[in-house]
Amino acid sequence: MKKLAFHPDDSVRAFITTIPEVTYGDGPLSGVTVAVKDNISTKGIETTCASKILKGYIPPYDAHVVTLLRNSGAALVGKTNMDEFGMGTTTENSAFGPTLNPLDHERVPGGSSGGSAAAVAAGLVDCAIGSDTGGSIRCPAAFCGIVGLKPTYGRVSRYGLIAYANSLEQIGPMARDVTTLSKLYSVIAGHDPRDATSVDRPYSHIPSADIKGLKIGVPDEFFGEGVNPKVAGVVRKALEILESYGAQTVPCTIPSMKYALSAYYVTCTSEASSNLARFDGVRYGPAVETLKSWHDAYSDQRKAGFGKEVRRRIILGTFSLAAGYYGRYYQKAQTARQMVRDDLERIFRDVDVIAGPTMPDIAFRLGEKSDPLQMYLSDILTVPANLAGVPAISVPCGNVEHMPVGLQLIGRYFDDERIIDTAYAFEQGGA
Amino acid sequence: MEERETIIGLEIHCQLNTKSKMFCGCSTDFRDNEPNTHTCPVCLGLPGSMPMVNKRAIEYALKVAKALNCTIREESEFSRKNYFYPDLNKAYQITQYDKPLAECGKLLIDGDNGEKEVRITRIHLEEDPGRSVHMGTTDRGKYTLVDYNRAGIPLIEIVTEPDLRSPKEARKFLNKLRATLEYLDVFDSEKEGSLRVDANISLQGSERVEVKNISSYKGVEKALTFEVTRQRNLLRRGQTVARETRHFVEARGVTTSSRSKEEENDYRYFPEPDLLPLRVASWIDEITLPELPDARRERFITQYGISPEHAKTLTGGLKLAEFYENVATINPALAATWTADYLLGELNYRDFSIDAMPADLFRELLDLIAADSITDKSAVEILRLILDAVKDGKKPERPGEIVNRLGLAKTSGDQVTAMIQEVIAEQQAAVDDYYAGKMQALNFLVGQVMKKCRGRADPGHLNRLLKEILDKKV
């Protein structure tokens, strides 16, 4: 085993935990420094999901991706900050305080994998692992000016990822360039029998910048109301550049987009209300002083341990699943989810890739979005890929007010290779 | 006044005897082990762990579904049942809700008024929660400990339609169900807590009461009998039966109202997102069933020529049926009588299962009876001595050894004849009375001979022999 000292100048507060003396072995990623989001279980290393309720929790096992990283020789240097349990778009909802955007310390890095994105963008690590439930890899990638991939659902094992919304989320790679991202992805993708939703589709692709003949669908909804016209302009320009490399753009529409956000929030909060119920103070987290009966003690514990946004989403999800409301909320959300899938499937009959902005705007100023509903609206362009389970990547494509803009490329089911190639073509300036 | 009809439906939770747990590889053989030693991230419900379906558990459940004549869903689904409880590590139980594995089955039982078909509503798979160990009583104990060894043990829940009409019928249903599960080799009834029953019971036209926490077969009849009486008394006094959940307190044999409003649960079921829908179409045909209790009963009647009653008794449990077949080799009728009428009684008296009786010793005993070497009385004595030794944890003596040690060998024909001659010579007065037509005299003479042989002769046989000899002398 080789050793590496890790003492980053973490002025952006990207890390919750750093490992000063890292050991690593041989393999395709030997010595490559990797930061891992703090909702991914690491044996012997505290894993908090940026929540007080998991303070002091040291998993006795490694997540599947962590095992794969270790086997590939990667140097796992630390655990990164995030919105508590992944619930947020800015990394401001962390019990450890916000992470700052390395490009402008007055701004957020995006979220929820904001720590991972900031660590990469600030050059503290070579690459990072994030998780994406409704845009949590792509949003911070866009805001920090790096590349981030949400793989096809099932291509990366979720075993060991502390669940927020199981049916939506995927672990994915983040890096400063497509080549590094692709290398990292080839290590973490593949079948894992411990995850029943895992599929046997390993990734061993070398990115190619040749996109001649590629058909790109451009949905009206991605450039409409709520999207900063300057951001839309930068992305349209990027699409023209892709056309100049031989791609062809085709206008299209995703009518179900108007239901997507509701479907997403009902689904993710429902699943979260169940996933997070186990944090009751019996097994994890600092005990709250209480002499009440267990029922009331649970309430005290959870009130003290969870942040405001987490509590809000647990209450929303509990409501959506309640007897008498299930049909009107959870079940209806599943119908809407199917409509999004159907829309994307229809569009993918004619095009290879769907493209648009990753985020409707550039990175917000810290504290700028205080209304939760306004915050939820900013996920509108990223949630369709999670609802449908298809792959999506964000690649930097220009600037607005000196802040980066992300070009989002959404692919067919299991066609992660194609969007990686498209991103690579853009990054490399064509073949 | 005509009595209102009793209406009972059962929900039976039964642990499947797979080697590993429902959703992980941990061993199910946790009894007699330290708490929390048969656990892993999955069955501890650690954050990030994910369930992995145990195919063997599904196979077992399919066997049960087939044996109970259910319609098996080609695609069933796991759901989460959400509720808070300290021994429920994930705060939800993975179970099946609106798409259970199997539905619409039936089981034939020997009902109160002859053979009866009890309809099975559904069979579904689920995981057992952990176990709370209260230090002291639930309300006064200082703390409660939790043992997760049991967490994740595969369970099937079998729900019946409200087709049972008496506590006794409910017990008979359970006995038949247990026998069926044993025959399928998917269940070990000997294991503590391997079968738990919730019962819904109402008197016709009145509210339904759910009785929870019945953890033994015997408890079911007791709890239901208590509940019938309680409900009848309420109605007799002009009161109404409240629709509620009651708890069976086994130690006192009573049910108590158990659920406060606060504990009323909305389980917020939704499909388990970490598991794919369960498609079993390709397996169903591969599932073969062994001989089940009804078929075995018919075979016993034809193969061994024993009575339908004996056949029914002897096929009521797998081990009992196997025991019988093991000892029925020489004289099936004698073996049936001695197993069903004598051995079972002695076992029940001692609260023993059939395992307590070493088959080879029983076979030896049957040989002695068949050879007319001992009397029935002696045979019972030997049986008791063997079982008492087992009870005391001693190695039982062989029947032959007992016969020799206690001198139980039946007095031979010549010896008996000689003794009769002696008695006739000694008791001239009684002999005269006999010839004078006093039949009581014969009984006296038989008693005298029995005294001489210390009871080691068959009284009926002795009676006949004595009469024969006396009558010849005339």
Q: What gap in Å lies between CA B64 and CA A228, rounded to an integer?
A: 61
Contact between A155 and A416 under an 8 Å Cβ cutoff? The reply is yes
**Which 3 state secondary structure label does DSSP give A115?**
helix
| pLDDT the model gives residue A164 | 98
Whether the per-residue pLDDT at B141 is higher than 80: the answer is no
Helical ranges in A248-293 per DSSP H:
257-275
B41 interfacial to chain A (CB closer than 8 Å)? yes
Kindly report which listed range (A211-225, A302-316, B66-80, B328-342) carries the lowest average pLDDT score. Answer: B328-342
Residue type, A260: A
Q: Which string of DSSP letters, residue by residue, matches B380-431?
A: HHHHHHHHHHHHTTPPPPPHHHHHHHHT-PPPPHHHHHHHHHHHHHH-HHHH
Structure pTM?
0.89
Quick one: what percent of chain B has pLDDT higher than 90?
Answer: 53
* Per-residue pLDDT tens over the stretch A320-371: 999 889 999 999 999 999 999 999 999 999 999 999 999 999 999 999 998 9
Specify the domain boundaries for CATH 3.90.1300.10 within chain A: 1-255+339-431
Q: What gap in Å lies between CA A188 and CA A173, rounded to an integer?
A: 8
Per CB-CB distance under 8 Å, the chain A contacts of B268 are 273-274, 318, 321-323, 326
Contact between A345 and A415 under an 8 Å Cβ cutoff? The reply is no
Q: How far is CA A247 from the centre of its chain?
A: 27
Burial of A52 by CB count in 10 Å (0-12 exposed, 13-18 middle, 19+ buried)? middle
| pLDDT the model gives residue B185 | 93
Q: What gap in Å lies between CA A394 and CA A416, rounded to an integer?
A: 12
Q: Given the structure tokens 């003949």, which residue do they identify?
A: A213
Q: How many CB pairs under 8 A join A and B?
A: 97
Tell me the shortest Cα–Cα distance from A39 to chain B, in angstroms: 8
| pLDDT the model gives residue B138 | 57
Contacts 24+ apart (CB under 8 A), B387-396: B387/B346, B387/B347, B387/B350, B387/B352, B387/B356, B387/B357, B390/B352, B390/B356, B390/B357, B390/B358, B391/B350, B391/B352, B391/B356, B396/B358, B396/B361
CA angle A300, A302, A305 (to 5 degrees): 105
**Which 3 state secondary structure label does DSSP give B128?**
coil
Q: How many residues does chain A have?
A: 431
* Per-residue pLDDT tens over the stretch B220-229: 999 999 999 9
CA angle A145, A146, A150 (to 5 degrees): 125
Q: What gap in Å lies between CA A43 and CA A30, rounded to an integer?
A: 20
The end-to-end CA distance of chain B, in Å, is: 67
State which residue of chain A sits closest to B270, comparing Cα positions. Answer: A321
Phi, psi angle pair for A224, to nearest 5°: -95, -145
Contact between B106 and B129 under an 8 Å Cβ cutoff? The reply is no
Contact assignment for A54 to B89 by CB distance below 8 Å: no
Tell me the shortest Cα–Cα distance from B33 to chain A, in angstroms: 21
* Per-residue pLDDT tens over the stretch B256-307: 887 655 456 799 999 999 999 999 988 888 899 999 999 999 999 999 999 9
Contact assignment for B274 to A195 by CB distance below 8 Å: yes
Kindly report which listed range (A147-156, B296-305, B347-356) carries the lowest average pLDDT score. Answer: B347-356
Contact assignment for A47 to B90 by CB distance below 8 Å: no
Task: Put the strands of the sheet holding B254-257 in their side by side order.
Answer: B71-72, B102-111, B114-127, B154-160, B6-15, B195-203, B209-214, B244-249, B254-257
Domain residue ranges in chain B: 6-284, 293-406, 413-473
Q: What gap in Å lies between CA A95 and CA A115, rounded to an integer?
A: 13
Q: What gap in Å lies between CA B158 and CA B129, rounded to an integer?
A: 17
Rounded to the nearest integer, the mean pLDDT of chain B is 89
* Per-residue pLDDT tens over the stretch B383-430: 998 999 988 888 888 988 888 877 777 766 677 788 888 888 888 888
**Residue that wins the pLDDT comparison between B355 and A359:** A359
Phi, psi angle pair for B229, to nearest 5°: -65, -45
Label residue B24 by pLDDT band (50, 70, 90): very high
CATH class of segment(s) A1-255+339-431: alpha beta
The end-to-end CA distance of chain A, in Å, is: 39
For chain B, give percent helix, strand, coil, nearest 5: 40, 20, 40
CA distances from B281 to A331, B273, B284, B370, B463 (A): 27, 22, 6, 53, 70
Per CB-CB distance under 8 Å, the chain A contacts of B145 are none
Q: What gap in Å lies between CA B54 and CA B275, rounded to an integer?
A: 12
A373 interfacial to chain B (CB closer than 8 Å)? no
Tell me the shortest Cα–Cα distance from B400 to chain A, in angstroms: 59
- As given in the structure block, the two tokens for residue A173 are 């790679």
Q: What is the mean pLDDT of residues B161-190?
A: 93
Catalytic residue IDs of A = 37, 112, 136
Contact assignment for B276 to A161 by CB distance below 8 Å: no
Q: What CATH fold (topology level) applies to the domain B413-473?
A: Arc Repressor Mutant, subunit A (1.10.10)
Contact assignment for A196 to B52 by CB distance below 8 Å: yes
Whether the per-residue pLDDT at A294 is higher than 90: the answer is no
Helical ranges in A133-228 per DSSP H:
138-144, 178-188
| pLDDT the model gives residue B413 | 67
- As given in the structure block, the two tokens for residue A201 are 């589709």
Residues 6+ apart with CB under 8 A from B186: B16, B17, B60, B61, B63, B64
B82 interfacial to chain A (CB closer than 8 Å)? yes
Q: What is the mean pLDDT of residues A15-34?
A: 97
Q: What gap in Å lies between CA A277 and CA A241, rounded to an integer?
A: 48
* Per-residue pLDDT tens over the stretch A87-141: 999 999 999 999 999 999 999 999 999 999 999 999 999 999 999 999 999 999 9
| pLDDT the model gives residue B32 | 84
Residues within 8 A of B (CB atoms), A 246-285 only: 270-271, 273-274, 277-278, 280, 282-284
Contact assignment for A295 to B262 by CB distance below 8 Å: yes
Q: What gap in Å lies between CA B238 and CA A108, rounded to an integer?
A: 71
Per CB-CB distance under 8 Å, the chain A contacts of B52 are 193-194, 196
Residue B79: closest CA among B11, B157, B19: B157
Per CB-CB distance under 8 Å, the chain B contacts of A156 are none
- As given in the structure block, the two tokens for residue B9 are 């439906």
CA angle B280, B273, A409 (to 5 degrees): 115
Q: What gap in Å lies between CA B375 and CA B377, rounded to an integer?
A: 5
Q: What gap in Å lies between CA B464 and CA A306, rounded to an integer?
A: 92
User: Helix B440-452 vs helix B413-426: angle between axes, to the nearest 10 degrees?
Assistant: 120
**Out of A54, A278, A323, closest to residue B89 by CB:** A278
Q: What is the mean pLDDT of residues A45-52?
A: 97
Beta strand B6-15 with B92-95: parallel, antiparallel or unpaired?
Answer: unpaired
Whether the per-residue pLDDT at B100 is higher than 80: the answer is yes
The strand pairing partners of B147, in sequence order, are B131
* Per-residue pLDDT tens over the stretch B237-252: 989 888 888 989 888 8
ipTM over 0.90 threshold: yes
Per-residue burial over A335-355, b if 16 or more Cβ lie within 10 Å, else e, is ebbebbbebbeebbeebbbbb
Rounded to the nearest integer, the mean pLDDT of chain A is 96
* Per-residue pLDDT tens over the stretch A171-204: 999 999 999 999 999 999 999 999 999 999 999 9
- Is the peptide bond prior to A112 cis by the omega test (within 30 degrees of 0)? yes
Q: What gap in Å lies between CA B4 and CA A415, rounded to an integer?
A: 68
